[in-house]
Amino acid sequence: MPNSLVAIYPGSFDPPTNGHLDLIARAANLVNHLIVAVLQNTQKNALFTTAERAEMLKEITAHLPNVEIDSFDGLLVDYAARRNANAILRGIRNVSDYEIETQMAILNRRMRAQTETLFLPASAEHSFLSSRMVKEIITLGGDASGFVPEPVMRRLQAKFTTVKR
Ligand code: ADP
């Protein structure tokens, strides 16, 4: 029986939303140490760089002492092994999340049995919310301030003003 639960919460976080922050805060209450890990991908439609996403996550989780922000590339299970993590955390908003996440969880467990995937259901008020929707609202000139933490909103506004110029 492990006496310490170290969980990795991996994701794109482009940008981090209120839904992500809610999941982080709830998970931080359950585990000893939570590593929020930004996936370093070369997504063509990415809005923020990996470093920018990590900076925003640091700002919005500064009040949570057992939360660490990191980034990784390559296989998640290899990263989990490097970090001695015994859990992967994922949020489930709906049936499509469940389908894809179950598949990933089974694959990851086949590759590394020591790391179990834990699912937390999204809070009702955030279950409709995704980074993609936030990007769409902002790109179309809408107000996304109800969907992202304040420091993220500031960065979105700065980015959008720069893009428009
Ligand atoms: P990915 O590209 O890995 O899906 P995301 O940043 O979109 O990265 O999501 C990372 C994790 O956060 C996923 O487990 C996703 O289901 C979860 N998540 C995303 N939005 C929400 C939300 N509004 N509430 C709860 N969990 C969420």
126 lines ligand 1 (CB under 6 A): yes
pTM of the model: 0.94
Q: Which atom of ligand 1 is nearest to the CA of 13?
A: 6
Query: Which whole number is the average pLDDT over 137-159?
Result: 95
pLDDT at 85 over 90: yes
Residue 52 CA to residue 103 CA, distance in Å, equals 30
Per-residue pLDDT, 16: 98
**CA-wise closest residue to 151 among 46, 61, 41:** 61
Q: What is the per-residue pLDDT across 103-132, written as a single tens digit (0 to 9) for each?
A: 999 999 999 999 999 999 999 999 999 999
Name 11's Cβ contacts closer than 8 Å, sequence gap at least 6.
20, 36, 37, 38, 39
pLDDT at 93 over 80: yes
Q: What is the per-residue pLDDT across 25-59, written as a single tens digit (0 to 9) for each?
A: 999 999 999 999 999 976 667 999 999 999 999 99
The gap between the terminal CA atoms of the chain, to the nearest Å, is: 57
Q: Which CATH superfamily is domain 6-127 in?
A: HUPs (3.40.50.620)
Residue 41 CA to residue 14 CA, distance in Å, equals 11
Coil, strand or helix: which one is 94? coil
**CA-wise closest residue to 4 among 81, 115, 86, 123:** 86
Average pLDDT, the chain: 94
155 lines ligand 1 (CB under 6 A): no
Q: Where are the domains of the chain?
A: 6-127
Nearest CA residue ID for atom 15, ligand 1 = 91
Edge-to-edge order in the sheet of strand 67-72: 67-72, 33-39, 6-11, 87-92, 116-121
